[in-house]
Amino acid sequence: MRTYRAKASEDTEHANKGEWVEGYPVEDQTGDLFGVIGGMGIIGTTYAGNNFYVLVDKETIRQQIGLKDKNGNEIYEGDVVRKIIHSDDYGYVEYFRGQYIISWKVNTLGIKSEPLYKWFNDVEIIGNIFNNPELAL
Is pLDDT at 42 greater than 50 in this prediction? no
Is pLDDT at 93 greater than 90 in this prediction? yes
Mean pLDDT of 90-103: 90
DSSP 16: -
**Overall residue count recorded for the chain in this entry:** 137
pTM of the model: 0.77
Mean pLDDT of 57-76: 90
DSSP 98: T
pLDDT score of 76: 94
pLDDT in tens, 10-41: 776 667 788 888 877 777 666 655 666 654 43
What gap in Å lies between CA 38 and CA 53, rounded to an integer?
A: 7
Question: Which residues have a Cβ under 8 Å from the Cβ of 82 and sit 6 or more positions away?
Answer: 89, 90, 123, 124, 126
Domains detected in the chain? 4-60 (no CATH), 62-132 (2.30.30.290)
Is pLDDT at 72 greater than 50 in this prediction? yes
pLDDT score of 46: 45
Closest-CA residue to 25 (of 13, 33, 15): 33
| Contact by Cβ (8 Å): 79, 125 | yes
Burial class from Cβ neighbours inside 10 Å (0-12, 13-18, 19+) for residue 74 reads middle
Q: Which has more pLDDT, 81 or 51?
A: 81
